[in-house]
Amino acid sequence: MKDIEKILATFDPATGRMDGAPLTQRFLHDLRRCFHDAAAFEQAAAAGNPLIYTVAGVEPGAGDGDLHYGVGMIMPGRIGDEYYMTKGHLHSWREAAEVYCGLAGEGVMLLEDEDGGNSRMVPLGAGKVVYVPGRTAHRTMNTGTVPLTYIGIYPAKAGHDYSTIARKNFTSIVVERNGAPAMVRRGTKA
Ligand code: F6R
Ligand code: MN
């Protein structure tokens, strides 16, 4: 059996910080070309480089049957009308699915078939579990006023393909409309 350090981890559901786990931090300048409103992005990026999200990652093993997981935290905020969000990715091993459990705060996930033909917005927050099937690009947004935290659990072999999203971005965006999140096709006015 694995050592207790690999079996038990302790995290703070309010901040997403986990004892002893490496923390990836993404700042606004890391998210260039993710947001649809380029002028709003440049204005915000000129004013500063705030922290947008963190992921505390745990990789207990790398075998065929192993799992990895990460506790994510996204700050509240928007660039123009678009909520603060993650870069988003496909898994390098396309068949790899993932389970997201919301811990605190309010948010949504944008799920898209790899060919971009089908987009879906699903809520993610305390009491919500989202199953992300294989071959599905996924991006997470904080639509609330406090940090959104969640845990994502995925096969150790999944890997992360960020380059496909960096090249094509998501077909849809999630924006604030009348105080609520709405999914619209990129490049259209809703
Ligand atoms: C892992 C996973 C999450 C994300 C996290 C940050 O497969 O989906 O742990 O890594 O939500 O998002 P990205 O990785 O898109 O920066
Ligand atoms: Mn993933």
Cα dihedral 153, 155, 160, 161, rounded to 10, equals -120
Task: Give rounded-to-5 percent helix, strand, coil for the chain.
Answer: 15, 45, 45
Assess whether pLDDT exceeds 60 at residue 141.
yes
Could you give the maximum distance between any two Cα atoms of the chain, in Å? 55
CA 185 to chain centre: 19
| Contact of 71 with 102, CB cutoff 8 Å | no
**Residue 190 pLDDT class (50, 70, 90 cuts):** low
Domains of the chain (ranges, CATH numbers): 3-185 (2.60.120.10)
Residue nearest to atom 1 of ligand 1 (CA): 152
- Type and span of the H or E element at 145: none
- The DSSP symbol for 33 reads T
Q: What is the distance in A from the centroid of ligand 2 to the CA of 185? A: 22
Summarised one tens digit per residue, pLDDT across range 49-66 is 999 999 999 999 999 999
Condensed to tens digits (0 to 9), the pLDDT of residues 13-51 reads 999 999 999 999 999 999 999 999 999 999 999 999 999
124/79 Cα distance (integer angstroms): 20
Residue 140 Cβ contacting ligand 1 at under 6 Å: yes
